[in-house]
Amino acid sequence: MPNNPINNLINRMADKSLAEFELIEYEGGNDVFIWKHPIKDFTTGSQLIVHESQEAVFFMNGQALDLFPPGRHTLDTQNLPLVGKFFKAATGDVTPFHCEVYFINKTEQLSIKWGTATHLEYIEPTYGFPIQIGASGEMSLKVEDSRKLLVKVVGTENGITHQGFIQKMRAFLMTHIKNHLASYIKKEKISIFEIDEHLIPLSETLHKIFKPNFLVYGVSMERFFVTTIVKPEEDKNYRRFKELHFRQYADIAEAKLRQQTGLIDQETQKQRMVIEAEGLAQKRALEGYTYQDERGFDVAERVAANESVGQMTNLGVGMGMITGVGNTVGTAVGGMIQNSINTIDNVDKNDAVNSINAVGISKNTLEMDSTQNCSNCGNSFSKGAKFCAECGQQALSENEIICTNCNTKTLKGKFCMECGGSLIKKCPACDKEVPPEGKFCLECGHKL
């Protein structure tokens, strides 16, 4: 029997293995971009099954003709308009034809790893020393244009995996990653010791650069991540600058901690003094006297202890001072003083004179204890006053000064309790420390 297409068709239909050729579907792995079906000859009426996220491309005579979307397709000349131009059915609709079918996996391929095979050398922008680093990460790819990928990358091969595609693009990737990574670090002046904080913007920048280059081959780079920057931990220069870098932050943190501790100590001292003052005020209120009364008692006690005055004279003087402390106490003590003086018949005139002088001293002492000098103009005013009547300066106690930074009253110390500024006063001429209330430098005499 002559060899012709009709006879070949009859022989093929008689072959029991013909059924194997009637169902065409994807049998590749999920990490495959393109998979070529091993069967090349199909009969019209064969069934093509394309799963979701897949495409099928028919090749005839080395040309990519029809593209099939997901679904079940019957292969005949009516469903293959481009193939029909090259093929004429000899008889019926059961004529076999020669073609190739490529399945394209259009799922996004995740966690595709990349890494630099050699180190990238550049000048560290912060400290200016040469350094070598490596980089690695992951990316995800997806087939965007099946025809481009088939024609430009796969060619006559039976298919390609995502790792095979990356291998083909490796030279491009390594060259561009090194170049753009170094340029980005230099442009942004990123310290090698802080580069891990910039991995996200660095990844986004490289992704924008690489994506158009991958689209040329029909593949979309969906994501690109720089996950690791490999630093030269064994390099002695790197270790030395690393220690210097972190030391500066440690010194600043330590200084701030000391300042905060000082402020806390001052605040604690302030609260302690407030609590003690409140306790004393409550004690005086319960016992029926005031702070001024207590100060009067202290003055009288000091005067009575003066050894230059006789015993009874001291009693008179001391009680005389107490007489001026308060109406109730003064009235009761006044009578006692008079009775004591009347019982003394042999008081020497010198003792009387001494008593008068002692009374004068005690009065002056009381006046001194009940007044204070203004820290600004030196004018005397009552300790109960809040401001100086001469210049209007705010009244200060022995433990208080005016902060030169915030101009508020605060306790004496090294730092202001209001703003935290330094209270240490220095001479502008010789830079020596001077007392806060001093008007002249003790070292060089410069007027402050």
Q: What topology does CATH give the domain 403-448?
A: SH3 type barrels. (2.30.30)
Tens of pLDDT, residue by residue over 56-104, are 988 877 777 788 899 998 876 665 655 555 554 443 444 455 678 889 9
pLDDT surpasses 80 at 124: yes
Number of DSSP helices (H) and strands (E) in the chain, helices first: 11, 20
Which pLDDT score, from 0 to 100, does residue 430 have? 85
Q: What is the pLDDT of residues 385-411, one digit of tens each?
A: 667 767 767 766 667 777 877 877 777
Cα 278 to Cα 40, 275, 417: the distances in Å are: 103, 5, 20
Whether the pLDDT of residue 447 is over 50: the answer is yes
Q: What span, in angstroms and rounded, lies between the C-alpha atoms of 374 and 385?
A: 11
Average pLDDT over residues 231-237: 87
User: For all residues of the chain together, what is the average pLDDT?
Assistant: 74
Read off the pLDDT of each residue in 309-330 and give the average, rounded to a whole number.
46
Report CA 181 to chain centroid distance, whole Å: 24
Domain ranges of the chain: 5-105, 110-140+158-232, 291-369, 403-448
CA 346 centroid distance within chain: 88
The CATH class, in words, for 110-140+158-232 is: alpha beta
pTM for this structure?
0.48
CA 50 to chain centre: 52
Written as six digits, the tokens of 240 are: 């030395």
